[in-house]
Homo-oligomer: A and B are copies of this chain.
Amino acid sequence: MTMTLGPFATAARQQNKSARTRARLMDAAVEVLARDGFEGASVNEIVRVADVANGTFYVHFRDKEAITVAVSARIVSDLTDQIDQAMTDLDDAIERFSFATRQFIEFAHGLPQWGWMILRCAPALRDAYQPMETHLFSDLVRGRRQGQIPQDIDAFLVDTIFAMVTAALAARLRGAAGPEAGSRVSELVLTMLKVPPERAQEVAWRPVELREIHLPVLPKVRAQRPVAPLAADAD
């Protein structure tokens, strides 16, 4: 009966029961959403995977959408935080982009359910995943200001780049591409941005130390829930 705990449940091991159950529901939600997509997922399936009574779900979340955005928010913030931390010493925008892309792909590849969930839910819940694009955007305008990116940056371009990176992630997850996926797509993007080819290639393929996956960020422990007569949706 010693179930292997998911990332959220592991992180919540030291918290009170409510938080622990909530975490198990979130891990289960990731699994189901990754497998069936947002529209195809069902609350019943989530509680089945979480090994929890159906009524328990509604103690913690209002409905399917609520748990999806809660999980998405955590995934997005955990990912961007970790990648940011791993990049504190990088200033050059080109290098930052390449590193972030590679780290992101290898990261999601190491936690495939998170990766699949992102791929399957991002189109359905665009604004929940907006922070990732925003992050990307700010790094790119930095590069523009540094004079390294000749191309003008706007929403359309960021959208395009995001699509390229997620396509690379999809290829990586389905096994069509190996660990070089991040480098390949980096180089393609940089070339597209009219970065000089030698530099694009050098930066994209330079060996780099990717961080270990260390997830999720331990949530702030709160002694007791203050009020909350009914489930809270967003974290």
Asked if residues A188 and B192 are in contact (CB atoms below 8 Å), the reply is yes
Q: Does A124 contact B (CB under 8 A)?
A: yes
Asked if residues B171 and A185 are in contact (CB atoms below 8 Å), the reply is no
- How far is the CB of A201 from the nearest CB of chain B, in Å? 11
Q: Which of B38, B120, B160, B184 contacts A156 (CB 8 A)?
A: B184
Q: Does A159 contact B (CB under 8 A)?
A: yes
- How far is the CB of A141 from the nearest CB of chain B, in Å? 17
Known: A164-B164, A166-B163, A167-B163. A176 touches B156 (CB 8 A): yes
- Please state the number of chain copies in the assembly: 2
Cβ contacts under 8 Å, A166 to chain B: 163
Q: Which of B36, B38, B159, B189 contacts A176 (CB 8 A)?
A: B159
Which chain A residues (136-190) contact chain B, with CB distance < 8 Å?
155-157, 159-160, 162-164, 166-168, 170-171, 176-177, 181, 184-185, 188-189
Tell me the complex Cα distance, A164–B164, Å.
Answer: 6
Q: Does A39 contact B (CB under 8 A)?
A: yes
Q: Does A115 contact B (CB under 8 A)?
A: no
Interface residues of A (CB under 8 A from B): 36-41, 119-120, 123-124, 155-157, 159-160, 162-164, 166-168, 170-171, 176-177, 181, 184-185, 188-189, 191-192, 194, 197
Could you name 23 residue pairs across A and B whose Cβ atoms are closer than 8 Å? A37-B37, A37-B38, A37-B39, A38-B39, A38-B40, A39-B39, A39-B40, A40-B40, A123-B170, A156-B176, A156-B177, A156-B181, A157-B188, A159-B167, A159-B170, A159-B176, A160-B185, A162-B167, A163-B163, A163-B164, A188-B192, A191-B191, A194-B197
